[in-house]
Amino acid sequence: MIRPRSKRKLLKYRSILRSLFPFLLSFAAMVVASFILRPSAPDTSLPTINPTTQNSLPILSNPPSVSAKHILILDMATRYPLYSKSADARIYPASTTKMITALVAEDYFQLDRIITVSQSYPEGQDIGLLPGEKLTVEQLLYALLVQSANDAAEILAENYPGGRQGFVSAMNSRAQNLHLKNTRFLNPTGLDEEGHYSTALDLARIAIELLRDSRLAKIVSTENAVVSTPESPHVLTNVNELLGKVEGVLGVKTGFTDLAGESLITLVDRQDRQVLVSILGSEDRFGDTRRLIDWIYSDSD
C-alpha cells in the first residue's frame, strides 16, 4: 500500500521526468548522430587529389607563357592543385599511357620471368626487338619507361592472360580502381585511337600511383641503361630530356603523337618540396616544363 505522502512524491518525480524527457531524448539523438555522422579516416591507399588548408607551397599566380593547352601542377605533400588549366579536358594521352601499362604488367608478372619475342612491331618508338629474342619482364619495363618502347608494351600485353584484349581490359580496370572518370584505354602503347583518352588530372593520379612503387619509380628516374639479350644489347636513353639537366627532376613519362601533340608528366624535388607537373597538348614539352618549374619555385621563395 502506497502512503499519501509517498504517492505525492512519486507523482512529483514522474512530473519532473516527464518535463525532462524531451531534453533527454534530444541529447540521446545528438550522441547517436555523433557516432553515425563521424567521418571515417581517409583512405590513404588511393592517390587522391584534395584541397587542403596546409599546402607547403603557395597557390601560383601570373603563369609564364607556355604552349601547353592542358596543365596541372600539384603539391605532392598535400595533393593540392597549385595551378590548373583545362586539366579535366579529354585528350589523346600518347605514350603517357605507358605508365598504366607498367602498373598492370608489374602487378601480374614476376620481374625475372623470361618472355620470347614472337614478332616484329614496326609502328612507333621501339628498341628494335626481333622475333626469337628473350628478355625478362624487368628488361621490358626498362625499355617501356626509359625509351618509351612500343614493342615492349605490345610484348607485355600479348603475354598477359587473355592476350592484348585482356591486358587492355586490366588497364581500364586499374583506371576505375583509381577513380579516373575521364580516362579510357584501347591499346597499351598510347598510339592515337578514337576513344582512347585521358586528362592532365587523371594522368597525374596515375603518375602518383606509379611513384608509390619503388621499382617503377627507380626505372622512370633512369637516364641510360643497357638491356642485353643473348642476341643483342639494346642501349636505352631516356626520352625525358630534363633528367640530369634540370635540378630536381626525377621522371616520370613523356608522350607524343601528331594528334596528341607533346605531353610530359614530371616529378620535381627542390628546396625539400616536391611538385608534379602534368602538361598535355604542348608544342614544346621540355621548354614549357622548364618554364613552369622555374615559375613554381621562384614564386615560393
Catalytic residues: 95, 98, 148
Give alpha helix (H) positions in the chain. Answer: 4-36, 98-108, 137-146, 150-158, 163-177, 200-211, 214-220, 285-299
CB 62 within 8 A of CB 296: no
CB 46 within 8 A of CB 36: no
Grouping H, G, I as helix, E, B as strand and the rest as coil, residue 191 is coil
134 is in an annotated binding site: no
Whole-angstrom Cα distance, residue 163 to residue 92? 23
Whole-angstrom Cα distance, residue 157 to residue 292? 35
Residue count of the chain, please give it: 301
Residues in contact with 91: Cβ distance below 8 Å, sequence separation at least 6, in sequence order: 69, 70, 197, 198, 199, 260, 280, 281
Residues in contact with 29: Cβ distance below 8 Å, sequence separation at least 6, in sequence order: none
Which residue carries 616520370 as its cell?
Answer: 252
Binding-site annotation, residues: 253
Binding-site annotation, residues for substrate: 253
